[in-house]
Amino acid sequence: MKVGIIGLGRMGQGIASRVAGAGHDLCVYNRTADKAAALAKAGAKIAKSVAGACEGREVLITMLAHDEALDEVTRGPSGVLASLPKGSIHVAMGTHSILATRAVSQAHADAGQLFVAAPVQGRPEVAAAGQIGIFAAGPADAVTRCRPLFDVIGRKTYEAGTDQTTAAAIKVAHNMVLGCAIEALGEGFVLAEKYGVKRQLFYEVLTDVLFACPAYKGYGKLIADEDYDKIGITARLALKDADLAFAAAEDVTVPLPSANAWRDRLLGAIAHGLAEKDQSVIAHAQAKASGLR
């Protein structure tokens, strides 16, 4: 399959390496060109523009950090709308708001183009191993055509229907629950540590007795080891995710009391210069607030 990928950040790199490794005809574009060097060695073509990444592609994947980037890449001059061949599919795999997803979906529909929202779940190392979860929504035939790629990129695809905003809603709500879980982990670790409990012991208790699942094991280990430089999503990007959750909740009148604590802790971490650490650094912020650091 002829595939284009725009956006080679931590997650985009892993996704692109999976596509290249499966033997697909891959063309990539990133504003910072040196991020494409390893993929070039793996046989990928390197485009010099968004339009170049779209040229002759059957599927164009965007993995972008925020709504503004998605809008610029999609609707900007020589963007995806203007450059993607007729009948090809734009697959947005980044985390985007309900509003932005709806706007891009409508723009593609107005242009007679196909659009699939397919945000993903997992850290960069999980993406590189092809084990991420994919939440896909869009025209049924377009999702079906993307299936071979999804099977290479991820562990499981959760089909969310034909309305692209449902996939965005799943991802926004998913990130909110994960953020609240990390906040609770930080509080638990600090409470136990104040009584002299070793972090590794508490981690073992949590992941063996209570929560034997990847999220608690993965983020619990980062907190136990205080390894906040092992970045999946930065605190700054997690704050964006929190804001997406509150925007979605306000739109349908849903209170999110737990998410307030998560967002406040992220703001505190960022205020203390920790914006580019992994989002689990909110546990460090909790420790400081409790007089431990």
Residue pair 80/60 in contact by the 8 Å Cβ criterion:
yes
Of 2, 45, 48, 171, which is the active-site residue? 171
The secondary structure element, H or E, covering residue 114 is strand 114-117
The secondary structure element, H or E, covering residue 50 is helix 50-54
Q: Are residues 152 and 241 in the same domain?
A: no
Its domain, for residue 56, covers 2-162
Q: Which residue has the higher pLDDT, 209 or 135?
A: 135
- Quote the number of domains for the chain: 2
CA-CA distance, 199 to 15, in Å (whole number)? 33
Is 171 annotated as catalytic?
yes
Q: Are residues 151 and 10 in the same domain?
A: yes
The backbone torsions φ and ψ at residue 186, rounded to the nearest 5 degrees and listed phi first, read -60, -45
pLDDT in tens, 124-165: 999 999 999 999 999 999 999 999 999 999 999 999 999 999
Of 121, 136, 162, which residue constitutes the final position of a domain?
162
Q: Are residues 251 and 137 in the same domain?
A: no
Instruction: Report pLDDT for 150.
Output: 98
Classify 46 as helix, strand or coil. Answer: strand
Of 140, 162, 184, which residue constitutes the final position of a domain?
162
Helical H segments across 65-163, by residue range: 67-75, 80-83, 98-110, 124-128, 140-153
Instruction: Report pLDDT for 239.
Output: 97
Of 162, 183, 212, which residue constitutes the final position of a domain?
162
Q: Give the CATH number, domain containing residue 153.
A: 3.40.50.720
Q: Are residues 132 and 216 in the same domain?
A: no
pLDDT in tens, 63-95: 999 999 999 999 999 999 999 999 999 999 999
pLDDT mean across residues, the chain: 95
Under 8 Å CB-to-CB from 187, ≥6 apart: which residues?
A: 286
pTM of the model: 0.92
